[in-house]
């Protein structure tokens, strides 16, 4: 039987591929459990510095699996406590890159927005179409989308269920880069490998600092950034990085 995700490790990059092609990678309960367990195992693995989540060229993910929810009662939904899993994704400390091609809808769009860098192929389409099936986004879509693209564009997508193209998503600030469909995965993988060569502790603290900008006031965020900045002067990688710059050689980071 096909596994809902395929997990592989390449050098310092932990890769997860969503693998339910028959249902456009719908995020079933099983898939989410495996995905989150794998992301956490990558986060705990000191040999992995960066995580890459990919779908296929045709689809990233068309949302939560509607079959899992169609007949559920409010109590069943409550008892499933499935948003606890999404909270665990939020707590991953290493950078997570999303390689998105095709549909990123509903929970699929929300999964991409849980990532830190979104590489979109020219064919990517983003949407929060939950309104069409009688619900609203539940894994942070109304909040993260609004912060990413602003109230009026978010309202258009959430109230009308409108899909936006990769070009619009890029223009609106929802994606980091657009790349040709044919090599979107190779591009994202190379980016992940390049990023994985940076000092791993600084990567984690940089992610933490940027995410803080969504959570707090400017002055508190600046204070927070400063503390993390100072902290890095306790690392060997800072000494090595600066020495290598001065000596005009390539730095060799050890993650300490």
Known catalytic residues are 64, 107, 110, 130
Residue matched to tokens 């068309």: 62
By CB atoms closer than 10 A (0-12, 13-18, 19+), residue 50 is buried
What single-letter DSSP state applies at residue 123? T
Single out the residue of 101, 252, 70 nearest to residue 177, CA to CA: 101
The CB-of-69 to ligand CO8 minimum distance in angstroms stands at 7
Instruction: Examine residue 216 and tell whether it contacts ligand CO8 (CB under 6 A).
Output: no
Instruction: Examine residue 82 and tell whether it contacts ligand CO8 (CB under 6 A).
Output: yes
Instruction: Examine residue 95 and tell whether it contacts ligand CO8 (CB under 6 A).
Output: no
The CB-of-91 to ligand CO8 minimum distance in angstroms stands at 17
Q: Which is nearer to ligand CO8, 7 or 69 (CB)?
A: 69
Q: With left for phi above 0 and alpha for psi between -120 and 50, is residue 198 left, alpha or beta?
A: beta
Contact 52, 188 (CB under 8 A): yes
Instruction: Examine residue 63 and tell whether it contacts ligand CO8 (CB under 6 A).
Output: yes
- CA distances to 72, 73, 76, 84, 141 from 79, rounded to whole Å, are 11, 10, 5, 11, 21
Instruction: Examine residue 24 and tell whether it contacts ligand CO8 (CB under 6 A).
Output: yes
The CB-of-15 to ligand CO8 minimum distance in angstroms stands at 22
* Contact region with ligand CO8 (CB under 6 A), list: 56-64, 144-152, 188-196, 217-225: 56-64
Tokens of 131: 């309104």
- Site mask for ligand CO8 (CB under 6 A), range 130-159, x = bound: x--x----xx--------------------
Instruction: Examine residue 66 and tell whether it contacts ligand CO8 (CB under 6 A).
Output: yes
Instruction: Examine residue 123 and tell whether it contacts ligand CO8 (CB under 6 A).
Output: no
Instruction: Examine residue 72 and tell whether it contacts ligand CO8 (CB under 6 A).
Output: no
Contact 27, 111 (CB under 8 A): yes
Q: Which of 106, 157, 192, 196 binds ligand CO8 (CB under 6 A)?
A: 106
CA 173 to chain centre: 15
By CB atoms closer than 10 A (0-12, 13-18, 19+), residue 254 is exposed
Instruction: Examine residue 65 and tell whether it contacts ligand CO8 (CB under 6 A).
Output: yes
Q: Which of 4, 14, 55, 107 binds ligand CO8 (CB under 6 A)?
A: 107
**Which residues form the interface with ligand CO8 (CB under 6 A)?**
23-24, 26, 62-67, 82, 103, 105-107, 129-130, 133, 138-139
């Amino acid at each position: 039987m096909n596994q809902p995700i395929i997990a592989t490790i390449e050098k310092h990059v932990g890769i997860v591929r969503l693998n339910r092609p028959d249902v456009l990678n719908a995020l079933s309960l099983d898939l989410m459990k495996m995905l989150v367990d794998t992301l956490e195992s990558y986060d705990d693995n000191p040999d992995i510095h960066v995580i890459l989540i990919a779908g296929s060229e045709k689809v990233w993910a068309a949302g939560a699996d509607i079959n899992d929810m169609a007949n559920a009662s409010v109590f069943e939904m409550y008892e499933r406590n499935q948003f606890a899993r999404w909270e665990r994704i939020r707590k991953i400390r290493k950078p997570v890159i999303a390689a998105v091609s095709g549909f990123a809808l509903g929970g699929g769009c929300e999964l991409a927005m849980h990532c830190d860098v979104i590489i979109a192929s020219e064919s990517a389409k983003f949407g929060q179409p939950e309104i069409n099936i009688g619900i609203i986004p539940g894994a942070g879509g109304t909040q993260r989308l609004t912060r990413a693209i602003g109230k009026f564009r978010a309202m258009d997508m959430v109230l009308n269920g409108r899909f936006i193209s990769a070009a619009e998503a890029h223009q609106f600030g929802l994606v980091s880069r657009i790349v040709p469909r044919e090599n979107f995965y190779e591009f994202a993988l190379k980016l992940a490998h390049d990023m994985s060569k940076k000092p791993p502790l600084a990567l984690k603290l940089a992610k933490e600092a940027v995410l803080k900008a969504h959570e707090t006031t400017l002055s508190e965020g600046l204070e927070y950034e400063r503390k993390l900045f100072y902290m890095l002067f306790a690392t060997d990688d800072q000494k090595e990085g600066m020495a290598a710059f001065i000596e005009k050689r390539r730095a060799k980071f050890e993650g300490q």
